[in-house]
Amino acid sequence: MTLEEIKTRLQTGVPGCRVEIVVNGSPSAQNSLLIDRRDGLAAARFLRDDIQLDFCSNATAVDWPDREKTDKVKTRQVVDGVEKEIEQTVKTRIPGYLEMVYHLFSITNREVGNQEPVVLRMRTGNRTDDVTLPSLTPVWRSAEFQEREAYDLFGVEFEGHPDLRRILMWEGFTDHPMRKDYVPPPDDEREISGGQ
């Protein structure tokens, strides 16, 4: 079953489900399904029960910081009475977000995914105060510790997780070390390995 077929079945099986296919341009061409977080839980249930993706082998997070995109736009303008084509650079700011990535397999039906994982993605609203995603632990139990790890190291907050605590760092630690903008504490200065 191809990703397009899974997408179509998802859209019919979960009414109103917003699904997108994120294209991977690299030679591996491992495309993935991007699901709106509001439909996350229902879509995950459908994937497990109807498409038989019964095993979640991996759950991890990606931090996408704010970035700037520069586009060159050609416009026609009248300069000194003569119409000329002028190239302008337009900068657009793309706000950052946190993204969860789940790798799904089907043990019962090998045709699904065709020996490759079906990659499921969900994105948060931003990186600061809107970082809630539905927990998929109620659907795939194997995601429990890995969602805790994403909570610990990236700061993704999971709704419906049975036991959302830090897993690697201690309680009372306030940072999220795997975020791109993480700065280690100043007392960790690198005496010999450079740095300052």
Min separation Cβ 155 and another protein, Å? 13
Q: Using CB under 8 A, which of the segments 1-9, 38-46, 54-62, 182-190 binds another protein?
A: 182-190
- Cβ closest to another protein, residue 162 vs residue 184: 184
Nearest-angstrom CA–CA distance, 150 and 158? 9
Tell me the torsion sign for CA atoms 25, 27, 33, 37: negative
Query: Residue 97 is inside which H or E element, if any?
Result: strand 97-105
Of the candidates 64, 59, 63, 62, the one whose C-alpha atom is nearest the C-alpha of residue 148 is 59
Which residue, 16 or 172, is less far from another protein as judged by CB?
172
Q: Are 6 and 118 in contact (CB under 8 A)?
A: yes
Determine the Cα–Cα distance for residues 39 and 152; give it in Å rounded to an integer.
24
Q: Which stretch binds another protein (CB under 8 A): 21-29, 104-112, 135-143, 181-189?
A: 181-189
| Least distance from another protein to the Cβ atom of residue 170, Å | 4
For another protein, the closer of residues 69 and 190 by Cβ is: 190
**Within 117-176, which residues bind another protein (CB under 8 A)?**
168-175
Smallest distance, Å, CB 161 to another protein? 22
Only segment of 39-47, 64-72, 84-92, 186-194 that touches another protein (CB under 8 A): 186-194
Q: Which residues contact 121 (CB under 8 A, 6 or more apart)?
A: 22, 32, 33, 34, 35, 99, 100, 101, 102
At its nearest, how many Å lie between another protein and the CB of residue 183? 9
- C-alpha distances out from residue 114 to 50, 53, 106, 111, 180, Å: 17, 12, 9, 5, 34
- Measured from the CB atom, the residue of 28 and 193 that comes closer to another protein is 193
Regarding 191 and contact with another protein (CB under 8 A), the answer is: yes
Catalog residues that contact another protein under the rule CB under 8 A.
Answer: 168-175, 177, 182, 184-185, 187-193
